[in-house]
Amino acid sequence: MAVLLPGAPDLAAYWRNLVAGFDAVGDVPEGRWDAVYYRPATADGPAAADQVYCRRGGFVDALADVDVTRFGIMPSSVPGAEPDQLIALQVAASAVADAGGEDRLPARERVGVVLGRGGYLTPGLVRLDQRVRTAAQLVRTLGELLPHLGADQLARVREAFTERLGPDRPENAIGLVPNLAASRLANRLDLRGPAYTVDAACASSLVAVDQAVGELASGRCDLMLAGGVHHCHDITLWSVFSQLRALSPSQRIRPFHRDADGILIGEGTGVVVLKRLADAVRDGDRIYAVVRGTAVGSDGRTAGLVSPDPGGQIRAVRRAWEAAGLDPAEPGSIGLLEAHGTATPAGDAAELRTLAEVFGPPDDSEGGRTAVIGSVKSMIGHAMPAAGVAGLVKAALAVHHAVLLPTLHCDDPHPALAGTRFRPLAGAAPWDSGPGGTPRRAAVNAFGFGGVNAHVVLEQAPDVTAFTAAPKPRAAARPAAADEGRRGSGRAAAATTVIERERVLLLTAGSPEDLAVALDTEDSTLLASGLDTPASRGAGPARLGIVDPTPKRLALARRVTAKGRAWHGRGDVWFSPHPLLGGERPGRIAFVFP
């Protein structure tokens, strides 16, 4: 997985922010749109089209730093491209790296991409519209109002106006095609399966996940990248939500609060790497969570096109749990619900009705409201088409680390919340297993503007060690130290480091070949001799570490060692064929550990 979200340039920062309950919402950065458009709310009536009454949201301006040359893109083409395409490319590449890198991808013909992306006015399209349409309208209107202006003067006005839009090159138009958010990614990463975008408003990225799951289940693809991208804070988008009175007049986004009064617009990009579970287990992948079920549906005919309908939401949620083969109303069925949670009064009320209907009321025999409800929108704003993947990544991280996460600004909950099985948390808390050892299970809602609803059910991956805090250093548990006298001896040394509930098998030898010889023995013999060794017994330049060693990980270690190339942590195996210090690297090296 990988993200670029307000306050979070990467996945690690996002996790830190989620655990800490960091509020990344702030004022509109300078240059996003002119301050002349802002006028504080004074009445409950519709706002003027050229005025907005809110100026706070979630932004990534200081974090969106893309090295385009890394992907073979010429810097001269950047000004004419949509920023979201370049950001999506970088985030997708980071997700592939988090999944072990391009070397671990299956055949490129069987790798696809589906991204949720809205059809909003984005910076490049705005510039093109101004160059083509607005410039002509401006000159025509001036000519009508000021008839004494000659053709030369009007031409100079048009030239001055278009100059401010930046250089005009024919190739700029290529970067404005919406589907290139996915196609550029497939092109630069050489992925030859299906590559396309979907627009289902706020449900877009979960619809993309549903599509990707279908590609995998059908056998057409072996790996899919799915997610959402939204980097549009154009004043026209703000104007739409301002006229609908959907923006928060108090300029605070408070999902499921008694006095919630509207959304704050956010932005961001998130991409997840999906494989069939059996393939991921076979390949020794690190699995954050298992997608047990997905579903998508629409409200159908309702009283209003933009009014949320619990009936449509209920159908989508129930279908996802049916696909998962699970009963959502069963006690202990769910530990965390990442809600759509927009903080609009109508939206929150409809979603709470959906939750009460699908998951049932509080269960007195289970201690009442045992499950947790959350909405990451309280921390980053509403990222529109990328909102679903922001919630999906949050839920997957929570499942993976066994931590229930807080939601901000819900100190006085909506009264309807008391009629559900869910409660908000003010701070992060450990996530214990359910009744009878039920695996950790989460679900994610994304209910799109216009009545399209998506739901995903996530479950704890098999054989995942519970999250524990980082251990303190222990004197008797050190990695093997450098020992010049043993290099090239043909013998391997072993040590065991015990870290909370995990064991680490450390092997060292004079060369990768010697290490391969040491590994060429029965698993039980190797594990017994290595794991019973209480401390270091010497070292060599070739190093191998296996976290919580199993026969499967030993098999991976043998393949890695036989190739002789460095292997850094994938499948919980670390291998270094060369010494870290000395040899070809003279001088002094300092390591700083935060």
Domain parsing of the chain, residue ranges? 2-119+178-459, 123-172, 484-576
Identify the active-site residue in 231, 233, 257, 340: 340
- Interatomic CA distance for residues 545 and 494, integer angstroms: 10
Q: Is 340 a catalytic residue?
A: yes
Q: Is 232 a catalytic residue?
A: no
Identify the active-site residue in 202, 221, 232, 410: 202
In the predicted model, is pLDDT for residue 537 greater than 50? no
Question: Using one digit for the tens of pLDDT, what is the confidence trace for 309-362?
Answer: 899 999 999 999 999 999 999 999 999 999 999 999 999 999 999 999 999 999
- Interatomic CA distance for residues 117 and 99, integer angstroms: 23
Q: In which band, very low, low, confident or very high, does the pLDDT at 409 lie, cut at 50, 70 and 90?
A: very high
Residue 448's nearest CA partner among 198, 122, 260 is 198
Question: Using one digit for the tens of pLDDT, what is the confidence trace for 191-213?
Answer: 999 999 999 999 999 999 999 99
Question: Using one digit for the tens of pLDDT, what is the confidence trace for 469-481?
Answer: 333 333 333 333 3
Report the SS3 class of residue 106.
coil
- Interatomic CA distance for residues 447 and 540, integer angstroms: 57
- Quote the radius of gyration of the chain (alpha carbons, Å): 27
Question: What CATH superfamily is the domain 2-119+178-459?
Answer: Thiolase/Chalcone synthase (3.40.47.10)
* Across 11-35, average pLDDT: 95
In the predicted model, is pLDDT for residue 292 greater than 80? yes
Q: Which residues partner with 226 through β-bridges?
A: 114, 272
Please answer whether residues 562 and 520 qualify as being in contact, where contact means their C-beta atoms are separated by less than 8 angstroms. Answer: no
The mean predicted confidence, pLDDT, of the chain is 87
- Interatomic CA distance for residues 25 and 22, integer angstroms: 9
In the predicted model, is pLDDT for residue 489 greater than 90? no
- Interatomic CA distance for residues 405 and 390, integer angstroms: 14
Give the chain's largest Cα–Cα span.
Answer: 97
Say which range, 42-46, 135-139, 356-360, 569-573, has the weakest mean pLDDT: 42-46
Q: In which band, very low, low, confident or very high, does the pLDDT at 589 lie, cut at 50, 70 and 90?
A: low
Identify the active-site residue in 230, 231, 382, 400: 382
Q: Is 382 a catalytic residue?
A: yes
Residues 6+ apart with CB under 8 A from 475: none
* Across 499-520, average pLDDT: 79
DSSP label at 100? Answer: T
